Structure 1
Amino acid sequence: MTLEQLRVFIAVAERQHLTKAAEAINLTPSAVSASIKSLEDSSGVQLFDRVGRGIQLTANGRAFLKEARETVSRASAAARFLSDLAGLHRGHLEIQASQTIVNYWLPQRVMRFRERYPAITVGVEMGNTVSVAEAVISGDAELGFIEGEFEHPLLSSKVIAEDQMLVFTMSGWIDSTIRAEDINRYPWVTRERGSGTRSFFETSIQHLGFAAESLNVVLTHPSNEAVLSAVRGGGCVACLSQAVVEPFLASGEMIRLPLDLPPRCFSILRHRDRALSAAAAEFNASCHAETDG
């Protein structure tokens, strides 16, 4: 049994699909299938049921998944330890962040870090607040960046920046001078549940005297771009980060509506009980230095 076989097994188990797993780990479907067969043959344990054209974990497979994840996580920890011994002359940093941060806040900071430490590779994956927190808890990411704050006994959360949320719609659809208390009469398009953008918005309007349940939400979308596209189609109102909406306000394509929301924070997450690699510690420190400065 090899670590590569365990990584293949985890990829297939998480996706329940050979081809999708193969794409995720940059192998051919035949190589993935052969790896799973070799693991099953060598152990004498059937890990998957082949159901029609699909694949599902057996009871033994589900039991083994936890051990496989822990083994791969321990191996990654050992690799990070060796990287630490070499200081910042080599190594890898894995980050997960929510959409607005990935697209508008994080890129320039990652590039500055890479300029200072060109031998350190950086991987960035995108998710929503919940999935980012889960990645840090599981060890899939050393650092997580989210909109708002997140409380969990295994996580340390520190505010590193502020962001402004804006309520907006297409220019010419409704009057930008309408009263704020009338906004709940219009159709809304929002981000999905689990998104920091949606969570912050719902909490903020409750503090302003609106019930989130009173809004006429006609569409939910999993990305900022999809929300923008829906608003551009006309006939709805939305709330996104100023960084996302500003270019459309500047061009006159969209207008800001008079519902003033408080600033929201960007937070950095790390595991309370895991030591950071040298690369993660340095990147974490650089983000905090910007805030302190």
Structure 2
Amino acid sequence: MVSPPSGCSVQLERRGRVDGPGLQQCSRAGAAVRRRLQVNGARAAARRAAVETAEQRLARPVVSASASRAHLRLHRPCPSTWPHCARGRGARQTHCFYRPDKLSRSERSFTGGIIGPYRARRAHKRGEWVEIGQVEAFLAVGTFGGFRRAADALRVTQPAISARIRALEQSLGVPLFVRSQSGLTLSAAGRAFRPHAEQLLHAVAQARQAVHDLRPASGGALQIAAALSICTYVLPDVLKRFQAAHPKVMITVRSGHSKEVLEMVLAGEAEIGLARSLHHPEVETLSLRDDPLVLVTRPESKVARARRVRLDDVAAQPLIFFDRGSSDWTLTHGLFRRAGLVPNVVLEVETIETAKRMVERGMGLAFLPHLAVVNEIRRRRLVALELSDAEPLSRSLDVIHPRQRPLSQEALGLLKTLRAAVGEEAGSPRRQARKANASPVNGSRPSG
């Protein structure tokens, strides 16, 4: 029973009597209070029901169809005689098995021994997953020797690379990198995992290509990016063959340094790239042939008579370098730097063709790509010299394309033409010319 408001009781006691208007006013106030209490009670009951429903949903685990009967029995409501079961007035009984705060220490130990291994097995299966992005990050870090450089190569943030490597190491259960004073290097597990990682990405690229080959050929255009020397000495004959077999394909060729070729391929500006000794986690690399740097001079020079020279003797001769900042320029300078020598550079030019013409005029010696001088060596306009005390400046002619984007039918046709041209050149008189003009990369003596 709800009593009238206290103000009305005090007023009636002071007056000592009950008048009509005062009693009506107090009755109306009491009815308003009762209605307010009923509304508040209904709201509180609704809140309690919502909380209990949420608790029941959180406490009830998701059981797979393959769960055993023992697990299913554990998910049933517990008997009403268990004291730790939480019961609200009028509420359904909760699943106290997953309520650690309602269990005693012995019960927590018992249930933890059953549910712990079950959850651990499920987590272990999730941890065995290896994602393609993690493998790409691993190869990028291994290739570039650092997380920051790997992040720049993959065009992601450094924390993203760190997170991928951490997840991969947790999946494999071993550290893949070792930090030392010399920098970041692969651990024994990382060295064992690397060839399999490369095979995995190669298999993924082949799978994409196989699916893409089922689509009808689009036709129309083919974008190529190539190093300048490849554009000059390789592509003319190759594209002539390709155009004869695919007359309706429009070809676009863009040139640049090897790094610029890689950037164009990664950015999607070129479908296929031709460069030298390029490796990147996001591209497939196919090596077509070797293209070493050959030390050449004119036949009338004094050093041409010996054919075998020492590197310090070469450093004293007038030298012609080309394309400052390119990979060829870096390789040539590195050869002298590792030997502790300073080359006598008398002329620096922009292109290989200019350097070749300067050598033919007798202005000095030069390290030039074999593809650029093979015809001149065959015609005896230039002579290849062999270095007797230095390692060869070997490079490879590579074709690159993105792993994430399958090749079109036009690009596959160009790749087939490139392989055929390289194979024919390997069996052509070029090999005999190399034997007759001792190239420094094979260390062979001239045969006559």
> TM-score scaled by structure 1?
0.59
Residues 157-172 of structure 1 correspond to what in structure 2 (within 5 A)?
157-172=285-300
| Residue-by-residue CA offset, 1:220-241 (whole Å, 9 max, x unaligned) | 3221111123323433210112
Match for residue 152 of structure 1?
A: 280
The amino acid of 2:405's aligned partner reads: R
* Whole-angstrom CA distance in 2 between matches of 1:162 and 1:124: 22
* Whole-angstrom CA distance in 1 between matches of 2:420 and 2:354: 34
Q: How many residues align?
A: 205
Change in 2 beyond 3 A, CA 1:189/1:118: same
The amino acid of 1:245's aligned partner reads: V
Long gaps (5+) in structure 1: 1-83
Counterpart secondary structure, 1:112: helix
Identity of aligned residues (%): 23
* Whole-angstrom CA distance in 1 between matches of 2:294 and 2:352: 13
Match for residue 236 of structure 2?
A: 107
Residues 122-201 of structure 1 correspond to what in structure 2 (within 5 A)?
122-147=251-276, 149-176=277-304, 177=306, 179-181=309-311, 182-201=313-332
Q: What displacement does 1:195 show?
A: 2.8
* Whole-angstrom CA distance in 2 between matches of 1:248 and 1:278: 36
Contact kept in structure 2, 1:162 and 1:266, CA below 8 Å? yes
Match for residue 265 of structure 1?
A: 396
Match for residue 436 of structure 2?
A: none
Q: What displacement does 1:202 show?
A: 4.7
Q: What displacement does 1:130 show?
A: 1.9
Change in 2 beyond 3 A, CA 1:117/1:253: closer
Higher strand fraction (1 or 2): 1
* Whole-angstrom CA distance in 2 between matches of 1:198 and 1:229: 18
Counterpart secondary structure, 1:269: strand
The answer to whether the aligner puts 1:117 opposite 2:223 as a matched pair is no
Counterpart secondary structure, 2:264: helix
The amino acid of 1:228's aligned partner reads: K
For the aligned residue pairs, the C-alpha RMSD in angstroms reads 3.1
Counterpart secondary structure, 1:243: helix
Identify which of structures 1 and 2 has the higher relative contact order when contacts are C-alpha pairs closer than 8 Å and 6+ apart.
1
Q: What displacement does 1:105 show?
A: 2.0
* Whole-angstrom CA distance in 2 between matches of 1:250 and 1:159: 25
Q: What displacement does 1:119 show?
A: 1.3
Long gaps (5+) in structure 2: 1-213, 425-448
Residues 226-237 of structure 1 correspond to what in structure 2 (within 5 A)?
226-237=354-365
Match for residue 226 of structure 2?
A: 97
Q: What displacement does 1:206 show?
A: 6.5
Contact kept in structure 1, 2:297 and 2:383, CA below 8 Å? yes
Match for residue 191 of structure 2?
A: none
Contact kept in structure 2, 1:129 and 1:194, CA below 8 Å? no
* Whole-angstrom CA distance in 2 between matches of 1:87 and 1:268: 22
* Whole-angstrom CA distance in 2 between matches of 1:224 and 1:119: 33
Larger Rg: 2
Q: What displacement does 1:266 show?
A: 0.3
Q: What displacement does 1:273 show?
A: 2.1
The amino acid of 1:179's aligned partner reads: V
